[in-house]
Structure 1
Amino acid sequence: MQLTHSHTAEFNRQSRKKSLARLGGQRFCTETLPSQLRLEWLKEVIGKEYANVDITPPNTMPLYNDMLIYPWQQDMRLSPIQSNAITLERLDQEPTEIAQDCYFAVLLTSGQYKLEQGGREVFLNGGEMSFYDATQSHRITIPEQFSKILISIPRPLLDKRLNNVGRLTATKLASASGIGAVVASMIQSTVQQLDQMTDVHFQQLSNPILDLFTLLLSENEVELSTLSRHRHFALLQIKQFIHLHIKESSLDAAAVSAGVGLSIRYINNLFYEEQTSLMRYITTQRLALTQSYLSNIIYRNLTITEVAMQCGFNNMAHFSRIFRHRYGVSPRAYRQQQLNLVR
């Protein structure tokens, strides 16, 4: 569902003022401030209303951001936003405002949008939707003027409806057809008709939209479960390839990628789910192999350098450093300790 910029101009200035007053909304806009004050003001507002973030303003245009926030039932909020290019990165700290303990559904109505969270990244064009956790690290990169609609959903509202909601963040929610198209259309229509609605009617729309959005997430969760099985088998394939080639010093990310036919980015995303990375996993496996060599009397005639090289290491200083960091002693001292135990 491609939306034109004319369709995403939510309402004119006069009707916007009326809808804000009638529906209890607020407006936060940088245009009321001198340019030198806008950045810190915007960080403060976003930190209070959405999430604590670092902001990188655009180099090619002035910093401009216009946010409307309408309160909904059950502490949900609807926020049409228009802005110039901007980059937002979630700071590594606990939420300081209750408004931050939320999930955010995002419908991009014009422009382009990149969201990164949980080792995943999603690219949106106008009319497409995604979803993220405001309390977790994330990065939003928007390279040009854009408009979007955010729906703030308090954590308990979704957590009691769906399990493992965090698995769905930074994924594209299908909005071109099916239930996704219904959800996107209803959100967009609600914003376009704000100047025509009473507060009672507006409030009554929050629960149906939440129900539809939950249904959309459920549909994506089923698809993700199927995808997870594929990812599980892909990870097994990658680990098997690594174990077969672990003794080769040339085994690196590019070699693994070529060997299994998957991109380095995708492979690293798989390992991210296990709280590691591809190269960290390879190093861990090589260290485990050297540990077994050094503790086995069969290999006592090999020098430390020969053991390291047979296990895929080709930089002795690096090997000695990471071995000591992992096992607390040098490779030579470790070997002596282990061989003394078997005498």
Structure 2
Amino acid sequence: MTDKAMVNMRERNMNTSLSQLHGQRLCTDDQPHSHRLDWLKEVIGREYANVDVNPFNDEPVFNEMAIYPWQNGVRLSPIKSHSLQIERLSREPTDISQDCYFAVLITEGKYKLEQDGREVFLEKGDMTLYDATQWHRITMPQAVSKVIISLPRDYLRQRISHIGNLTAKKITTQSGTAAIAASCIQSLTQQLDILDSNAFHSLQDPLVDLLTLSLNQLEPKSVQLSNTQSSTLFHVKRYVNQHCHYHELTPKMISEAVGLSVRYINNLLQAEQTSLMRYVTQQRLNSVYRKLNSRQFMHRTITEIALESGFNNMAHFSRAFKTQFGVSPRRFRQEAKNKLLIFDA
């Protein structure tokens, strides 16, 4: 097979996976040469963390990322990049979705991470963890392929204590649980085009458990797997996230599907200062937020996006959106469009 044929096949497979799993692709090749660096800074700042980005070795700017949303704010991102240096800026995260830790697996190339007074050098097959909200510097002296798993802070804290002790350390993947985790992550990214949404989402918890066990190799006393209540709550949240787009979803339906009483589910969620139906609404709002901010859905109306995300009362949706995000859906959509127009100009 020629190189061109392989590229075409890879693009077809990616397009299939993006469509099936509601992902998005962002690539510098889609931008004019003169805008690529500024565009990349804006995209990384919006999707991951506020950073400064500079080419390394005077190479042309190239970066291609695909972002696949899982439940509870977890995301899977296969990324290809030419050599770059990325440094976290001092300003605070601009969105709650940026309050994350990133688990990184290197699949090609070399990579250096600096954070918390430590530096770690990674090559193909190695993994590490870093805090996206704290200062860090990433140096990629050559072309790199990597997979980032975004893990919201509260989600990871339910599994691991003293996370700050685990950042910027090499997770060796030659043997043990880390070898299994790295193999699973790489296999998953290679199979995305043949997975349906249910299969993809069902892999989240097992994979995060493997990552948790992999971190246990660094400092065993810091890591604990989810207790029974946490595991139960993840099960409830997974069901909600897979079904919240149904208008008719009710507490009774959720209760029957997961085999738990509504009262017990609400008791579990009380520790997070929410309730079952508030959690359902939150996930619907998060779905609308992502779609309104995505180039892929710019041709859809706000009403269409709200309806397919599970809302059936537009007045209630507009009030809830403004309460959650501080602006109306219409204003948010326009601001998102303006950002895209700036970088398309």
TM normalised by structure 2 equals 0.61
Structure 1 residue 58: deviation in Å? 2.9
Match of 1:41 in 2: 39
Cα separation, partners in 2 of 1:147 and 1:102, compared to 1, 3 Å: same
Match of 1:75 in 2: 73
Match of 1:117 in 2: 115
Report the number of matched residues: 216
Distance between the aligned counterparts of 2:123 and 2:187, measured in 1?
18
Structure 1 residue 223: deviation in Å? 8.1
3-state DSSP of counterpart to 1:114: strand
1:257-304, CA deviations, whole angstroms, 9 ceiling, x for partnerless residues?
xxxxxxxxxxxxxxxxxxxxxxxxxxxxxxxxxxxxxxxxxxxxxxxx
1:162-220, CA deviations, whole angstroms, 9 ceiling, x for partnerless residues?
11101110000121100010000000000000011111100110111111111111232
Match of 1:220 in 2: 218
2:140 to 142, 151, 157: 142
In the alignment, is the contact (CA less than 8 A) between 1:73 and 1:207 conserved in 2?
no
- Runs (4+) of structure 1 exceeding 6 A deviation are none
3-state DSSP of counterpart to 1:163: coil
In the alignment, is the contact (CA less than 8 A) between 2:18 and 2:24 conserved in 1?
yes
2:100 to 99, 102, 122: 102
3-state DSSP of counterpart to 1:73: coil
Structure 1 residue 53: deviation in Å? 0.2
1:3-49, CA deviations, whole angstroms, 9 ceiling, x for partnerless residues?
xxxxxx9x700111011011000000000111110111111100010
Distance between the aligned counterparts of 1:30 and 1:139, measured in 2?
21
In the alignment, is the contact (CA less than 8 A) between 1:102 and 1:134 conserved in 2?
yes
Instruction: Kindly provide the amino acid, as one letter, of the partner of residue 175 in structure 1.
Output: T
Match of 2:154 in 1: 156
Structure 1 residue 73: deviation in Å? 1.5
Structure 1 residue 59: deviation in Å? 3.7
In the alignment, is the contact (CA less than 8 A) between 1:48 and 1:99 conserved in 2?
no
In the alignment, is the contact (CA less than 8 A) between 1:162 and 1:218 conserved in 2?
no
Instruction: Kindly provide the amino acid, as one letter, of the partner of residue 176 in structure 2.
Output: G
Match of 2:48 in 1: 50
Distance between the aligned counterparts of 2:20 and 2:31, measured in 1?
25
Instruction: Kindly provide the amino acid, as one letter, of the partner of residue 156 in structure 1.
Output: D
Instruction: Kindly provide the amino acid, as one letter, of the partner of residue 135 in structure 2.
Output: S
Instruction: Kindly provide the amino acid, as one letter, of the partner of residue 85 in structure 1.
Output: S
3-state DSSP of counterpart to 1:136: coil
Aligned pairs for 1:1-343 (under 5 A) are 12-222=10-220
Q: Which moved more, 1:148-157 or 1:215-224?
A: 215-224
In the alignment, is the contact (CA less than 8 A) between 2:84 and 2:139 conserved in 1?
yes
Distance between the aligned counterparts of 2:192 and 2:40, measured in 1?
25
Structure 1 residue 224: deviation in Å? 8.6
Match of 1:289 in 2: none
3-state DSSP of counterpart to 2:217: helix
In the alignment, is the contact (CA less than 8 A) between 1:76 and 1:153 conserved in 2?
yes
Structural RMSD (CA): 1.6
Distance between the aligned counterparts of 2:52 and 2:105, measured in 1?
22
Distance between the aligned counterparts of 1:174 and 1:202, measured in 2?
26
Distance between the aligned counterparts of 1:224 and 1:173, measured in 2?
15
TM normalised by structure 1 equals 0.61
Instruction: Kindly provide the amino acid, as one letter, of the partner of residue 209 in structure 2.
Output: D
Structure 1 residue 99: deviation in Å? 2.2
In the alignment, is the contact (CA less than 8 A) between 2:93 and 2:99 conserved in 1?
yes
Distance between the aligned counterparts of 2:71 and 2:211, measured in 1?
15
Give the % identical residues: 53
Distance between the aligned counterparts of 2:64 and 2:88, measured in 1?
20
In the alignment, is the contact (CA less than 8 A) between 1:52 and 1:90 conserved in 2?
yes
For structure 1, the 5+ residue unaligned runs are 1-8, 226-343
The structure with the largest alpha-carbon Rg is: 1
In the alignment, is the contact (CA less than 8 A) between 2:63 and 2:82 conserved in 1?
yes
Distance between the aligned counterparts of 2:204 and 2:66, measured in 1?
16
In the alignment, is the contact (CA less than 8 A) between 2:78 and 2:189 conserved in 1?
yes
